[in-house]
Amino acid sequence: MLEDRPKTFQVDARRRLLLLGGGMGLLFSALTGRLFYLQLLKSGLYRDMADDNRISLQLLPASRGRIFDRDDRLLVENNPDYQLVVIPELASQQLRHTGKESGGLLRLLELLRPLLQLEEKEIQAVLRQSSRQRPFLPLTIKTHLTWEEVSLIETRIHALPGVTIEVQTLRHYLMGNLASHAIGYMGEVTEADQARYPDTDFRPGDWLGKSGVERSVESRLRGMDGLREIEVNAFGRQVRELRRTPPHPGQDIHLTLDMDLQREAERALAESSGGTGALVVMRPHSGELLVMASQPTFDPNQFVNGFQPDEWRQLIQNPNRPLTNKAVQGQYPPGSTFKMVVVLAALRHGKLSDTDVVFCPGYTTRQDHRFYCWKLRGHGSISLTQAIAQSCDVFFYELADRVGIDAIHQQAKQLGLGALTGIGLEGERPGLVPSRPWKRKVYKAGWFPGETLITAIGQGYVLSTPIQLAVMMSAIANGGAIYRPFLVRPEEEQGDASHHSAEPPPLWHNHFRAEHLAMVRAGLEEVVHGALGTARTARLNDGIRMAGKTGTSQVARHRRTQSGAVMKNTARRLKDHAMYVAYAPAQQPEITVSVIVEHGGGGGSNAAPLAKRVMDLYFAKKRGEPMPPLTTPDAATTAPGTSDAEQPKEETDAH
């Protein structure tokens, strides 16, 4: 019995029992605490982990909106593209639980490296993007998977946690290089793009519009991705679909472009003496663009399919700048097409009447400096109508003296020059209309009287874009209204097959007096139909009358002989640009055309015939004549001439 044992033994036994009981109590408390921690505090985490083992999230990509022309002909569509996508959170959790502590996403990329031949720079790009976005969002590892790569991934999908193969859409431009500057091209998202769209969660490999309407209406073309939750077993096989949020496709858009006219314009430019330039066709009463052509062109499909190094180098190093949309980004001295600004300024300020006559001996002298007319022997006594028709420089030198640079500057701005047109295309240039304050700010110098004379014939500091000249000429054709040019039918018209919607309101209106416009229009009509007009080669078929103005834009300063004759430049890069602006029919204008042929020489012989080609086709199509099938343009439109051979001699307008 315990009582009969020594007292020291009894104390020792009790101590041991207490220690054992305390130990068992501590153990039970620890077990209870651990169960409390797992069952209550961490129940959500482990429930989510269990769900991760059986639930997979798959992105349902939205298709990008298609692009049609004004006649509902499909221009841009979408083709399937297989992409490898991972959810970093799933990859990290499942690989970490297997005891691989090297980092879930990095470990996964190492597993994929031999299967997809991933390069180190590709892996680093994926890791950088992963650090920028939330871990539960899908992350694109590689696009444009081949069938072999798809097969390799599918057979190993159970060992690649969080990985799925998605079918995205790949942009396809059915017309190749036709209207490529207007339509634009696609490219992968860059850091600059992410900054521009901060509310959009981009993934590596995502694409968006980089130029043209692909960029300007990105928000309408880009849809909203959906999401699919599916149950999978331990081997990654799908068991059933739990929930689906369908994607919302992007909106289809219809361009205002007439692709028959667009094709003719691009061919005409490619076949011209210069081989490079721009041509714009615009409806003068709305701003609707029927043609926006720029040469040389490029194939936007190459940006989707990828360039060979030599192809990309040739494209960006081409001196003719095929990636530049010369219709909105090319800035050129407008030459004699600017003379309409001077006439309207003089009429507005009462400095010119229909009875005024100026004598042209072939030059005029100001402050011991001789300013030449393009016609060395002079035009003699010449009226306003004759001066416009024959583009007499001396007549406009005289008007410039009467009116001054301030009035010329004001009138040019009112006609839309020297400012963005508002078309909304990336990279549009504003041109330049010089003024006294502008020169004082830029050159820290005053304005000289001779500079006013040079400005009056569209040379010197003044610069314009082809689309600005189309806006200017449209204002003369429609009675003074300035419209914003546009390439895409307004959003509320999408789905409406009718192309005869209400005309948009003008941005502002120049309130020209009717008699002043009549005087200007009479001169413009004589340019084409007068016996001495500078654009006689542009007369349209079927007796349709056109009103136009030729121009020659100097690239280099003209050298002259002792008699004053111009010494022709032989190098192509030093030749003048050929320009022409026009509208037709002369009495009830329907279309306005603006043409520039870079280094093409005189506007009358080298730019006006291009406008005739496009206008003749417009009226033929209006009469219902059949058009050739619309196919990809031939190779000539992408290979502009670069010959330095002597261009045909201009016999009419040299300014």
Q: What is the pLDDT of residues 234-292, one digit of tens each?
A: 555 566 777 888 888 899 999 999 999 999 999 999 998 878 999 999 999 999 999 99
Tell me what pLDDT residue 3 has. 55
> Strand, coil or helix: what is 109?
helix
Tell me how far CA of residue 361 lies from CA of 30, 382, 440, 451, 523, in angstroms: 113, 11, 34, 21, 21
Question: By C-alpha distance, which of 457, 439, 432, 462 is closest to 371?
Answer: 457
How would residue 558 be classed by pLDDT, with cut points 50, 70 and 90?
Answer: low
- Give the C-alpha separation, 142 to 152, whole Å: 14
Q: What's the pLDDT at 42? A: 60
pLDDT in tens, 96-110: 544 443 467 888 888
Give me the pLDDT at residue 66, please. Answer: 95
Residues 290 and 372 grouped into a single domain: yes
Contact at 8 Å (CB) between 294 and 212? Answer: no
Under the banding of pLDDT at 50, 70 and 90, the label for residue 491 is low
Q: Which range (170-184, 370-384, 560-574) has the least confidence?
A: 560-574
Give backbone dihedrals phi and psi of 221, rounded to 5 degrees, phi first: -75, -35
Q: Is 11 contained in some domain? A: no
DSSP state of 320: T
- Note whether 267 and 410 are same-domain residues: yes
CA distance 315 to 310: 9
Helix, strand, coil percentages (3-state) for the chain, rounded to 5, are 40, 20, 40
Token pair for 18: 């207490």
Q: How many domains does the chain have?
A: 2
Q: Report pLDDT digits (tens) over 394-422.
A: 999 999 999 999 999 999 999 999 999 99
Confirm whether 384 is domain-assigned: yes
Sequence letter at residue 108? L
Residue 438 in any domain: the answer is yes
Instruction: Return the CATH number at 373.
Output: 3.40.710.10
Q: What length does the chain have? A: 655
Rounded Cα–Cα distance for residues 278 and 152 (Å): 49
For the stretch 364-393, pLDDT in tens is 998 889 999 999 899 999 999 999 999 999
Q: What is the pLDDT of residue 634?
A: 45
> Same structural domain for residues 93 and 200?
yes
Specify the pLDDT at position 91.
Answer: 72
Are 244 and 265 in the same domain?
Answer: no
Cross-strand pairs, 81: 168
Q: Are residues 168 and 292 in the same domain?
A: no
User: Which residues form the catalytic set?
Assistant: 336
577 pLDDT higher than 80: yes
Residue 151 or 289, more confident: 289
* CB neighbour class for 118 (10 Å; exposed up to 12, middle 13-18, buried from 19): middle
Q: At what angle do helices 405-414 and 449-456 cross, to 10 degrees?
A: 30
According to the model, what pLDDT value does residue 9 have? 59
Residue written as token pair 């010089």: 434
411 and 517 part of one domain: yes
Token readout for 218 is 């990105």
Higher pLDDT, 147 or 559: 147
Answer whether residue 42 is part of any domain: no
Is there a domain that residue 498 lies in?
Answer: no
Q: Indicate the average pLDDT of the chain.
A: 84
Radius of gyration of the chain (CA): 36
Cα angle vertex 476, ends 470, 478, to 5°?
95
Sign of CA dihedral 639, 535, 596, 600: positive
Query: Do residues 160 and 191 share a domain?
Result: yes
35-62 mean pLDDT: 63
Same-domain status, 205 and 288: no
Q: Domain limits at 438?
A: 259-309+328-491+505-560+572-638
Question: How many Å apart are CA 412 and CA 453, to the nearest integer?
Answer: 15
33, part of any domain: no
356/439 same-domain check? yes
Q: What is the per-residue pLDDT across 285-336, written as a single tens digit (0 to 9) for each?
A: 999 999 999 999 999 999 988 888 888 888 888 899 999 999 999 999 999 9
> Hey, how many other C-beta atoms are within 10 angstroms of the C-beta on 451?
18
State the amino acid at position 522 in one-letter form: A
Whether residues 108 and 127 fall in one domain: yes
d(CA 92, CA 99): 11
Q: Looking at the domain assignment, is residue 91 inside a domain? A: yes
pLDDT higher for 249 or 169?
Answer: 249
Confidence of residue 639 (pLDDT cuts 50, 70, 90): very low
CATH number of 147's domain: 3.90.1310.10
Are 536 and 513 found together in one domain? yes
Q: Does 315 fall in a domain?
A: no
The better pLDDT of the pair 589, 79 is held by: 589
Examine the pLDDT at 648 and tell me if it is beyond 90.
no
pLDDT band at 95 (very low <50, low <70, confident <90, very high): low
> Is the pLDDT confidence value at 503 over 80?
no
Q: Say if residue 345's pLDDT is above 80.
A: yes
Residues 155 and 65 in one domain: yes
